A = this chain, B = another copy of it.
Amino acid sequence: MIKYGLHGKLTATPGNGDKLAQILLEAAKLVATAQGCHLYLVSQDQNNNDAVWVTEVWDSKEDHDNSLNVAGVKELISQAMPLLNGRPEKGQELRVLGGLGV
């Protein structure tokens, strides 16, 4: 079955990338048991800790969208928002065919 992938960047205000990444790692724990969630990776650019990437794979876009309702996620979003340097860009959406790890 083709899955829904999303690869997106969140840019932190200078020096806050590590803190932002920690919040996203907490979010990963919350969504780990959400319906349809296969992957939720948190990464940083090799030379810029303030460029934080989230790479997600879900059964469907609907499952992804519903994850905003997982208990605790909105609280984490409200912690993350003040650390962001501008609005998040729209992530890259992918049709995930398969491979190792999903």
Contacts and interface: CB of A to CB of B under 8 A. Distances in A.
Nearest to A38: B101
Interface string A57-75: 1000000000000000000
A97 B46 contact: no
A12 interface: no
A37 interface: yes
Each complex incorporates copies of this chain amounting to 2
A93 B46 contact: yes
Interface residues of A, number: 33
Contacts of A21: 97
Given A28-B100, A41-B96, A44-B97, 15 more contacts: A5-B41, A7-B7, A25-B98, A39-B41, A39-B99, A40-B99, A41-B98, A41-B99, A43-B94, A43-B97, A45-B95, A46-B94, A53-B94, A54-B99, A55-B55
Interface of A: 5, 7, 21, 24-25, 28-29, 31-32, 37-46, 53-55, 57, 93-102
